[in-house]
Each structure stands twice: as C-alpha cells, then as structure tokens.
Amino acid sequence: MKKTLLTSGCSMTANSPTWADYISKSTKMSLLNPSSPGIGNHVIATNCIEGVEKLLQDYHAEDIQVVLQWTGINRYDKIIKKNNNYYKTHPGSFLSDQSGLLVRVLSTWRNDDFWRNHYSNQENEQAFLETLENILMCQFYLKEKNISYKMFCAWDLFTHLDTSSRISLELLNNSNQFTDDNYNNKSFDLIKDRSQITSFFWNLIDWNNFWTFNDEQVKYGGMLQWIKKNVPKQDWFINPGDYHPSHFAHQQFADFLIEEVLQ
C-alpha cells in the first residue's frame, strides 16, 4: 500500500471532506492536498508538481500515489510579476507563488473588467488546448519520476454542443451539467476533433491512467456524471441550488475510486 496521497483540484477537492479525505481515511495514507476553490488547470498542474517535489524529500517514489481532478477549461491561471500595477490594486485575484517573486492569477478574472476583457476573445479550442498541455505536463513529469498516478475530470470537459448554460461558460462546456437534470452528451462533438493539434495532443494522453465515465448516455464524463448515475438524486448536491457534490456523494465516489480506479 502507498504511504502518502497527493491530490490536486478545485473546490470539488478542496472543500473538506471530499473524495480526497475519504480516500486518505479509508486507505490510511497521509494526505497532501494543495487544492483551492476557483483555481484553473494551470494551477492544479503546478500544485501537483510542487507537491510531488515536496513529498520526494521524505518519501520514495514508490510510496506516493497522485490523484488529479481537472476543472473547467475556461478557467485561466497566469503567472505575472508582483510589481505589476494590477496586482498591487487587486491582490485578491492572485494565488501567491512560493518563489515570492511571481503570482498566479486566479480564475476570479471573470469578475473583473481587466481580465474579462483580456480573455473575452479566447476560443474554446484554445482553452481546451491549454488544458491538454497541463494534463500532458503532469503526465510526463509523473512518469519521469516513476510516480503512480490517476487523473479524472470533475465534469464533462471534453465535449461541446451549446453555450446556453445558465451558470456561465467559464464553468461548463454544455448545459445540464450543474443542474438537477440527468445528462446526455452522446451526440455532442469532441472538442479535440476541431483541430489537428488538439487531436495530436489528445492522442498523447495515457488513457490507462485517465478515468472517464461512460455509459449509454454519457461519453468521457467525470465525477459529476458518475454521481448522477450512482448516487440517489436527493444526495447529489450539498444544498439546493449549490451544485457541489454532497459529502455522501464524495464518500461514494471515493469508495469507487479505491475499488475500481486505484487498483
């Protein structure tokens, strides 16, 4: 059995207790969880690499298990210098970097005219490509370090049909994900098929280490789709109108990961 567990993600991994805490408790692995609400895939990836480097100071590679949960493709996290004038006037939009010299812009940019205008013309295909780059960066790093790892998505990040989500494009590619309805994306396009470069990067992913949820209605789904098919509807979400998974749903998903994915 592995001795320590590193998980990285957004609020679906950070708002304890989540699947990460339940895995740690069930397997008796110590937990390092640098997840944070509101972050995007760039910070999830760099948190993973920084966390593994920290663990390797005290553990052998064979004692480490990494589980990464990827978040919405339109959450943008960038690194800028701390002497940037915007940072001085909007410190709440940044995640401090360990170096003390740089800061990472959180996806709270969507609430601010400066960042919203900066990214207003960003295409989904570009956002998707950046997500694939982050996935592959972690994959190549973890393989080079001989670290056991698994990845999955918090929800469907890989298909696209419409832009009618009542929440926001920043969170969802498709409507009816964060709702009380069931989800069906079987007829939706895979975003990776829209360009040669995204298809090329997609094919570099080691799918043996990347779990997705698939059934007669869903393809390439994530944790949310698994919950909607395996957890009683009254236990899907933590509160009415708050579409984060309930603690019970997290516990059930953790049991599934332990039994079916981490073996």
CA–CA separation, 150 and 132 (whole Å): 15
> How confident is the model at residue 223, as a pLDDT?
97
> How confident is the model at residue 97, as a pLDDT?
55
How many beta carbons lie within 10 A of that of residue 261, not counting itself? 15
Q: Give the pLDDT confidence of 145-178 residue by residue, as tens digits.
A: 999 999 999 999 999 865 544 334 444 566 678 8
For residue 113, what pLDDT band results from cuts at 50, 70 and 90? low
CA–CA separation, 229 and 213 (whole Å): 10
How many beta carbons lie within 10 A of that of residue 53, not counting itself? 11
Preceding peptide of 240 cis, ω within 30°: no
Mean pLDDT of 33-50: 88
Residue scoring higher pLDDT (104 or 166): 104
> How confident is the model at residue 213, as a pLDDT?
98
For residue 246, what pLDDT band results from cuts at 50, 70 and 90? very high
Answer for the pair 214, 220: CB distance below 8 angstroms, yes or no. yes
> How confident is the model at residue 38, as a pLDDT?
76
Q: Which of 230, 252, 248 is nearest to 239 (CA)?
A: 248
Q: How many helices (H) and strands (E) does the chain have?
A: 9, 11
> How confident is the model at residue 173, as a pLDDT?
64
Strands (E), 9-163: 30-32, 64-70, 78-81, 94-96, 102-105, 148-153, 159-160
> How confident is the model at residue 165, as a pLDDT?
43
Q: Give the pLDDT confidence of 116-156 residue by residue, as tens digits.
A: 665 555 556 778 899 999 999 999 999 999 999 999 999 99
Is the pLDDT assigned to residue 28 strictly greater than 80? yes
* C-beta contacts of 207-213 below 8 A and 24+ residues apart: 209/139, 209/149, 209/150, 209/151, 210/135, 210/150, 210/151, 210/152, 211/150, 211/151, 211/152, 211/257, 211/261, 212/152, 212/153, 212/158
Mean pLDDT of 66-85: 78
φ, ψ dihedrals at 28, nearest 5°: 60, 25
CA–CA separation, 135 and 35 (whole Å): 16
Burial (CB count <10 Å: 0-12, 13-18, 19+), residue 42: buried
Residues paired with 210 in a beta bridge: 151
> How confident is the model at residue 166, as a pLDDT?
39
CATH class of the domain defined by 4-75+122-261: alpha beta
Q: Where are the domains of the chain?
A: 4-75+122-261, 77-116
For residue 231, what pLDDT band results from cuts at 50, 70 and 90? very high
Q: Give the pLDDT confidence of 177-200 residue by residue, as tens digits.
A: 888 989 999 988 898 998 899 999
Residue scoring higher pLDDT (230 or 37): 230
Mean pLDDT of the chain: 85
Least confident of 85-94, 110-119, 166-175, 221-230: 166-175
- What tokens does 246 get? 């309930």
Residue scoring higher pLDDT (80 or 92): 80
Using a cut of 0.75, tell me whether the model's pTM lies above it.
yes
Q: What is the dihedral of CA 183, 121, 45, 214, to 10 degrees?
A: 20
Report the percentage of the chain scoring pLDDT > 90.
57
φ, ψ dihedrals at 50, nearest 5°: -65, -40
Mean pLDDT of 230-254: 95
Is the pLDDT assigned to residue 103 strictly greater than 70? no
Burial (CB count <10 Å: 0-12, 13-18, 19+), residue 224: buried
